Structure 1
Amino acid sequence: MLDPDDVDLAGLGAARDDRTPGASWWIDPANGEIRLVQDRDDEPAGWRHIPPTEAGAGYGDMSDFVEAVQHRRAAELLDQAINGRGAFRRFKNTLFEFPEVRDEWFRFRDARARRGAIEWLLEEGLVDDEVGRRAIARHPDPSPRNADVPGAVASDLADLYGHRLHRVLLYGSWASGEGSVESDLDLLVVLDHVDSTWDELRRMDSVLWRHTERSGLAITALPVAESAMGRPTEPMLIRAKTSSVRIS
């Protein structure tokens, strides 16, 4: 039996995706070595042939990825791209417009390819069932990077305000774990004092806009004085105080 950790899973995934005419891929059941063969006379004895995946098998991965994309504009365009003929080409072209989303796709595709490679090894009886299942569990779909956006915004606000910033609270759907590409990311920015809400909003504008551009999320922030959070009277502040999550 092979140990999945000793197999080049990325290479096996690439071999399964290769549909080049006249090319065939083989794996040595003894040590997991993978070899490209382009002449039938060179097919290695005792090795296992690696058949290519079915054409269009990657469409499900694209669809699942688009559902997980948090960047609003990217998600909208990618959803349009994968519908109809030429979906793969349009999908790739659209990703070039969003470099960070494109990086996420590569991470997502790599995880799916590695899991698919291990599943194939299991189907072929080349790895132990329990060992294979544990190996699959080590390659989950990557979490959307936008899960880190609140912390990144809070960090930039700390640089902006210095000692004036007491804390940043996340409230609303993102705080309850129900946030999605359609949800605003709502923040309470608790400062030592707030003389003018509009002045503070203008001061934060460049930070919020930068992260909105980067993530595709609509990010809202409400500056609040520490004294107002002590005994809040506004319904929104009362709800935020009881259900918010501190991120800074």
Structure 2
Amino acid sequence: MLDPGRVDLAALADALDDRSPDTLWYLDPSGGGIAAYGPGETGPPPGDWVEIDRVTSRESYRDMSDFTAGVQHRRAAALLDRAIDGRGAFRRFKNTLFEFPEVRDQWYRFRDARSRRRAVDWLAGAGLITEPDAERLRARYPDPDPSNDDVPAAVAEDLAALYGPRLRQVLLFGSWASGEGSVESAIDLLVVLDDDRASILAWEELRAMDDVLWQHTERTGLTISALPVGQHELTRPGDPTVIRARAEAVRVR
């Protein structure tokens, strides 16, 4: 059996994904080396080398479809879903990703994980590595989690940078606090500020934090809503929204 540690999975994944019609790829079953042979080149390699089969377009399309189903950015998800429908799906998918750099980066990570697992599957299917070795390798490359669960924490970090010691707490409430949040629901944050010196004017604070909220909305496609309150108002709430928020709150910061 081939020692899986001697195989460059990234190179094998590239060989599996190669669409060059005149190039053949081979793997050395003893040393794990990978070589390509095209027109006019000396080859093929020694007879015991194994030809590397290509990934079908159906498998590549499934990757795009699975990725699109997990995209959390609402506008990107809608456009990608439209892009992969019908002929020319691969080109439209690629072009659409360039409109959303962060989603594009997520796709690269997703694609790399899928392609490396496929490389492991090919090695196991060719009888070059044992199934226990294959299982260990597959476990190293899970699909990246596209969840936006970290968005409230990221917003809270930026609010802390904006307000400094004035920021006392950031509390998550509403559907995201109860675990029922989705791309269709807003992330509701109760932003608790120091009000020892002056009362809180909500409209002024919302204007101050507008850039922070918008940056995260633009990045994720999620609606982020903030309710600024003073710490004394939090301990003696008179606003029904604040009362409800306190009852549901999950502290983010």
Compute the TM-score of the two structures, normalised by the length of structure 1. Answer: 0.92
* Bigger Cα displacement from structure 2, 120-129 vs 76-85: 120-129
Aligned residue for 2:116, secondary structure, equals helix
Distance in 2, matches of 1:131 and 1:103, equals 29
Q: Which amino acid aligns with 1:27?
A: L
Aligned to 1:137: 139
Distance in 2, matches of 1:244 and 1:10, equals 45
Determine if contact 2:187/2:225 at 8 Å carries over to the other structure: yes
- In the alignment, is residue 208 of structure 1 matched against residue 213 of structure 2? yes
Q: Does the C-alpha gap of structure 1 residues 239 and 44 become closer, same or farther in structure 2, counting only changes over 3 Å?
A: farther
Q: Does the C-alpha gap of structure 1 residues 185 and 44 become closer, same or farther in structure 2, counting only changes over 3 Å?
A: farther
Query: How far apart are 1:236 and its partner, in Å?
Result: 4.1
Aligned to 1:54: 56
Distance in 1, matches of 2:97 and 2:131, equals 37
Aligned to 2:181: 179
The equivalences for 1:57-76 within 5 A come to 57-76=59-78
Q: Does the C-alpha gap of structure 1 residues 219 and 5 become closer, same or farther in structure 2, counting only changes over 3 Å?
A: farther
Aligned to 1:15: 15
Aligned to 2:191: 189
Aligned residue for 2:170, secondary structure, equals strand
Q: Which amino acid aligns with 2:58?
A: G
Q: Does the C-alpha gap of structure 1 residues 5 and 233 become closer, same or farther in structure 2, counting only changes over 3 Å?
A: farther
Match of 1:77 among 79, 85, 97: 79
Aligned length: 248
Distance in 2, matches of 1:41 and 1:106, equals 33
Determine if contact 1:63/1:82 at 8 Å carries over to the other structure: yes
Please list the CA deviations of residues 141-184 of structure 1 after superposition, one character each: whole Å capped at 9, or x if unmatched: 11227333222211111121111110111223333333332221
**Structure 2: gaps spanning 5 or more residues:** none
Please list the CA deviations of residues 181-230 of structure 1 after superposition, one character each: whole Å capped at 9, or x if unmatched: 22211111111235322221112111111111122111111112222333
* Bigger Cα displacement from structure 2, 71-80 vs 191-200: 191-200
Distance in 2, matches of 1:3 and 1:62, equals 31
The equivalences for 1:218-237 within 5 A come to 218-232=223-237, 234-237=239-242
Query: How far apart are 1:103 and its partner, in Å?
Result: 1.0
Determine if contact 2:200/2:229 at 8 Å carries over to the other structure: no
**Structure 1: gaps spanning 5 or more residues:** none
Aligned to 1:87: 89
Aligned to 2:108: 106
Distance in 1, matches of 2:182 and 2:6, equals 38
Distance in 2, matches of 1:161 and 1:16, equals 51
Aligned residue for 1:147, secondary structure, equals coil
Distance in 2, matches of 1:30 and 1:173, equals 55
Distance in 2, matches of 1:238 and 1:122, equals 58
Query: How far apart are 1:235 and its partner, in Å?
Result: 5.0
Distance in 1, matches of 2:7 and 2:246, equals 51
Determine if contact 1:69/1:181 at 8 Å carries over to the other structure: no
Give % identity.
59
Query: How far apart are 1:245 and its partner, in Å?
Result: 2.4
Q: Does the C-alpha gap of structure 1 residues 23 and 147 become closer, same or farther in structure 2, counting only changes over 3 Å?
A: same
Query: How far apart are 1:73 and its partner, in Å?
Result: 1.1
Q: Which amino acid aligns with 1:24?
A: L
